[in-house]
Amino acid sequence: MRIFMRIFYQIFLIFLFAIGLQANVDAASKRGKKAKQKIEKIVSYAKNADAMSLADAISEQENLDPAWVRAQIGAAKRLPLVIKLMSPGPVGGKKNWTVYRSRFVTSLHIDAGVAFWQANKEALQRAETEYGVPPGIVLGILGVETIYGRNTGSFRALDALATLSFDYPTEHPRREARVAYFRGELAQLLVLATQMRREPTSYKGSYAGAMGWPQFMPSSWRKHAIDFDGDGKIDLWQSQSDMVGSIANYFKAYGYKSNVVSRAGLAFQQAVVELENGEEASTQYPVDDNFFVITKYNNSYYYAAAVLDLGTAIEEKIKNANDKK
């Protein structure tokens, strides 16, 4: 009987081992299938007829080598996350200025802004003299956009712009206009890469294709970015002077008025805009013409107000520190 039980026990152990081995094989097979599915989801635009047609149009319009343009756009990858991020949000929800402001006017933003001001006082003052844009506006933009370079985006700009050119969310109410815009930006990226002698795939930025600390789109980079440090090149990733001068130059081009002098360059007595606070009472925010110039950077009253409030908070901290000396 003992011998029989010993044999039975050994057979049982072998049976359990076989079951475990098969489970591991099944798990590995599932992992392999998932990995294969992920690989299959990476889609390029090399065989997209619409993409190749645009490539030919860009090469003719911008006088670029047709084969090179086709190769660059063909190397772009479709990014499902970009499509998701660009999709319209739920309808009916109220905006909340208090919550929105709290994301940007923080001790982290303010302290980083003060540090940037201390490192770039000369460039900020020179930009105000030459372009009429006060330091608070430049500091507010850099803080709201990327927290002074801490978050410039990790998407390849070529992939993001191609995705938004050929796979823009179909449910978006302004899809046609947005597609036209991003196709124009895709063309500008290729021209920019040619001028800077860089591979288009080397540019990284936001999911919308904005790049550098100031988050310039390719067309804005070409139109408004300047060599403010005089080193013979424009660099919105490394040269903080170029960033300062380029932002100031951008706003001057859109009509910023240097004769308006008050907190962060804003005259408060002219008008107000209403900023919703969810279910609470709305904020009546004082504005002037320069406020609407700021919305040329991002078409949102909430954005412009956050830029102004952050710039003001930074200037106040600098002033308080100077008063204590």
Task: Report whether 287 contacts 85 (CB < 8 A).
Answer: no
Task: Give bridge partners of residue 204 from the DSSP assignment.
Answer: 156
pLDDT, position 93: 74
Residues identified as active-site: 145
Other C-beta atoms within 10 Å of 113: how many? 26
Q: What does 92-144 look like in DSSP terms, one character per residue?
A: TPPPBHHHHHHHHSSHHHHHHHHHHHHHSHHHHHHHHHHH---HHHHHHHHHH
Give the closest residue to 213 by CA, choosing from 245, 236, 244: 236
pLDDT, position 40: 43
pLDDT, position 17: 45
pLDDT, position 196: 93
Q: Which residue has the tokens 């990733």?
A: 237
pLDDT in tens, the chain (325 residues): 555 455 444 544 444 444 454 545 455 455 554 444 444 467 899 999 999 999 999 999 999 999 999 999 999 999 999 999 999 877 667 899 999 999 999 999 999 999 999 999 999 999 999 999 999 999 999 999 999 999 999 999 999 999 999 999 999 889 999 999 999 999 999 999 999 999 999 999 999 999 999 999 999 999 999 999 999 999 999 999 999 999 999 999 999 998 655 455 555 557 899 999 999 999 999 999 999 999 999 999 999 999 999 999 999 999 888 877 7
Q: List, in order of start, the domains of the chain with CATH numbers.
A: 49-90+153-205 (1.10.8.350), 106-151+233-324 (1.10.530.10)
CA–CA–CA angle 97, 101, 103 (5° rounding): 125
